[in-house]
Amino acid sequence: MLDGKKVLYSGMQATGNLTIGNYFGALQNWVTLNEEYECFYGVMDLHSLTVRQNPTEFRQRARSLYALYVAAGLDPKKNCIYYQSHVSGHAELSWILNCFTYMGELNRMTQFKDKSARHADNINAGLYTYPVLMAADILLYQSDVVPVGADQKQHLEITRDIAERFNGIYGDVFTVPEPYIGKTGARIMSLQDATKKMSKSDENPNASIYLLDDLDAVLRKFKRAVTDSDNEIRYAEEKPGISNLIDIYSAATGKTVAEIEKEFDGKGYGDFKMAVGEAVVDVLRPLQERYNELLKDKEYINSCIKENDEKAQYFANKTLRKVQKKVGLTEKIR
């Protein structure tokens, strides 16, 4: 608890370009959480190193992600938005927690198996111990709640196991985090294959809508979206393509599925695809305008980064010093 509020922790990797799936599924819903929680949001650049990065492009993407957080409506005065790599406690706590994590637990992590299959030429130790660094991210700030998608549930489970194991040995050192149960963001699927999640790493350029896409390109991608041979705009399990478009339209406009089905009753897929594209463009236009303003205002972004890095460092150090003392590490002479 900080200032009477529970602590909420989340973040995104500084790789690739964010999609509307990242926005509607998470980022959009983060904006008002600071009213109820003390929020920490990381630019998770250390996690990104499990894949080889071009250093110049990597730094640019990390800054771009920071600017997108703010452009989406996260106020850096009300939320702690910081760079993971600027707080050394993440790496330091991760090493200590490695010594309280069992090989069998890491062997069961499905994400390691999935990523190893996709990056067979670079199956590194960081990829294997990734869940421990994620546990350190969460536990470092004594997080009470963590928003998790279906693909992150395992990571929160192992974080809880590590925290409970450590607490069982040394007392109540860590807050054991719970999954955040709140407004559920839309699960946005690929425009070219609605059976899989929209991804910022999809090789098909027409499969994903990126937050910084040219707006005309956004409309073209929606025109090419795969639907089905039926021409009825109806939400149904057997119609994944059109159901995905309904989800996107709902997320962009706030309309319910029933309202959307009624609005487009008797209309064809062409009209609906255009309407979905225009609704998404209406969301992206102000976000892109604000993002471009922020990138030009280097002094403002730099001041936000400095101030929030210092805040994150302060709270991280409180936990880290406690952990170091518990495990018997010699304190620095100050």
Q: Which two three-digit tokens encode residue 207?
A: 């499969």
The full DSSP string for 68-80 is: HHHHTT--TTTSE
From 115, 221, 239, 273, active-site residue? 115
Point out the catalytic residue in the list 78, 153, 197, 239.
Answer: 197
Query: Would you say residue 181 has pLDDT above 70?
Result: yes
**Per-residue pLDDT tens digits for 277-311:** 999 999 999 999 999 999 999 999 999 999 999 99
* pLDDT band, very low/low/confident/very high, at 66 (cuts 50, 70, 90): very high
115 is a catalytic site residue: yes
Q: What structural domains and CATH numbers belong to the chain?
A: 6-181+298-327 (3.40.50.620), 215-293 (1.10.240.10)
Active site annotation includes 200: yes
Three-state secondary-structure class, residue 83: strand
pLDDT of residue 54: 92
Strands (E), 98-232: 145-146, 178-179
145-146 sheet: strands from edge to edge: 80-83, 37-44, 6-13, 145-146, 178-179
The pLDDT score that the predictor gives to residue 25 is 86
* 325 included as an active-site residue: no
Nearest to 285 by CA among 252, 260, 244, 249: 252
CB-CB contact of 177 with 145 (8 Å)? yes
Closest CA to 136 of 168, 164, 159, 170: 159
The chain-wide mean pLDDT, for the chain, equals 92
pLDDT tens-digit readout, 205-234: 899 999 999 999 999 999 999 998 888 999
Q: What pLDDT is attached to residue 12?
A: 92
CB 166 within 8 A of CB 173: yes
The C-alpha atoms of residue 195 and residue 32 are separated, in whole angstroms, by 31
